[in-house]
Amino acid sequence: MKRSVRSILAGIGAAAMLSAAFGVASAQAASDDERLLKMNWDEILKEARGQTVRWWMWAGDAGVNQYGRFCVSALGHGALDGTGARSYQDGVDSWGGHLSCANVEWFEMNFPVLYLFRRHARDGAGAGKFRGGAGAETAHTLHDAPEGKLKGVTYGVAGLRNSGQGIFGGYPGAPSIVVLLEDTRVRDLIQQNQCVEEMEDLGGKSRLLGYSEFDLRKNDVLYMRVACGGGYGDPLERDPQLVAGDVANGVFSKETARDIYGVVLDEQGELDPAATEGQRAVLREERAELKE
């Protein structure tokens, strides 16, 4: 192992990469860093050709980051899953047990990726007398990527089969999915100082990814939603004030509040008790007709 490390140190930029990986600080590594930052990617490739500089990255490399270094990372947000509802209270929003998740600023600082958003998935939590926890949804695009692309591998996308299930009349939670949107308007929206609120605003061609490899290129957007928790009990038995609070917090839309929970809100988001009572009566009548 020692001989292999010594031989790799002869390769261009390897001292800097090993320094970053193993916490080894040296004057030579700092010098290599400064020199690499002054070179363009073609110059780095030419000087590195024929050298072994990345064998130790057992997971492979996703591409080259904004500092000219090969990079690899798990863009996992499993720690932001929503948990299932209980018989006495709602599930927990974006809480994956004892897992952890890197913050947005750290990830953008280390990889050529820009977050368009990281937020709770609206209308993803399983409806019920006690609702499931809302999982997170994120959207990413390239930013300052020397090669103009990053390679990705999708995993953990079996949620369409085994996501959070509802119980005793509760609805299932939205499953985990990974979607690649190609050739979008994301650059135009950024240049116009517009935030991406809805994925439909991006345009482009969308592709639901299973277990696969893919390339994230300029103008592409990678959308991920982690699993949401299932609900417990009949949604029509949920306290209307809790539903109004969910809408105010972005967990549910006003349409879901009305069509699933039978809760009617006015233009200001305030609860309309009379209209809610009438809407719930309508929904119960529709259920009875379906049973006949």
Provide the domain limits for residue 257.
239-291
Q: What is the pLDDT of residue 69?
A: 84
Residue 186 lies in a domain: yes
Q: Which of 202, 225, 248 is the last residue of a domain?
A: 225
Same domain, 182 and 282: no
Greatest CA separation for the chain: 81
Same domain, 82 and 215: yes
Residue 101 lies in a domain: yes
Q: How high does pLDDT run on average in the chain? A: 82
Residue 151 lies in a domain: yes
Tokens linked to 272: 């309309």
Contacts of 216 (CB under 8 A, 6+ apart): 140, 141, 142, 149, 150, 151, 152, 180, 222
Residue 67 lies in a domain: no
Residue 62's nearest CA partner among 210, 224, 181, 215 is 215
Same domain, 206 and 90: yes
Question: Tens of pLDDT along 67-92?
Answer: 888 888 777 787 899 999 999 999 99
Q: Do the beta carbons of residue 131 and residue 91 sit within 8 Å? A: yes
Same domain, 160 and 96: yes
Predicted confidence (pLDDT) at residue 11 exceeds the cutoff of 80: no
Which residue has 């006003």 as its token pair?
A: 254
What is each CA distance from 223 to 74, 143, 179, 207, in whole angstroms?
15, 16, 5, 10
Residue 179 lies in a domain: yes
Same domain, 49 and 83: no
Same domain, 216 and 247: no
Percent above pLDDT 90 for the chain? 53
Same domain, 258 and 163: no
Cα gap 275→195, rounded to integer Å: 34
Same domain, 210 and 132: yes
Q: Do the beta carbons of residue 80 and residue 101 sit within 8 Å? A: yes
Find the mean pLDDT for residues 268-273.
Answer: 95
Most confident of 33-42, 66-75, 175-184: 175-184
Q: What is the pLDDT of residue 43?
A: 77
Question: Tens of pLDDT along 253-269?
Answer: 999 999 999 999 999 99
Q: Which residue has the higher pLDDT, 123 or 24?
A: 123
Same domain, 124 and 148: yes
Q: What is the pLDDT of residue 162?
A: 67
Cα gap 192→117, rounded to integer Å: 17
What is each CA distance from 94 to 80, 124, 139, 227, in whole angstroms?
4, 11, 16, 9
Question: Tens of pLDDT along 206-255?
Answer: 999 888 889 999 999 999 998 999 999 999 999 999 999 999 999 999 99
The pTM assigned to this predicted structure is: 0.75
Question: Tens of pLDDT along 17-35?
Answer: 323 333 333 444 456 656 7
For the chain, the distance separating the N- and C-terminal CA atoms, rounded to the nearest angstrom, is 74
Residue 231 lies in a domain: no
Q: What is the pLDDT of residue 31?
A: 63
- Structurally, the chain folds into a number of domains equal to 3
Same domain, 99 and 211: yes
Residue 65 lies in a domain: no
Find the mean pLDDT for residues 102-106.
Answer: 89
Same domain, 214 and 243: no
Percent above pLDDT 70 for the chain? 79
Cα gap 261→158, rounded to integer Å: 28
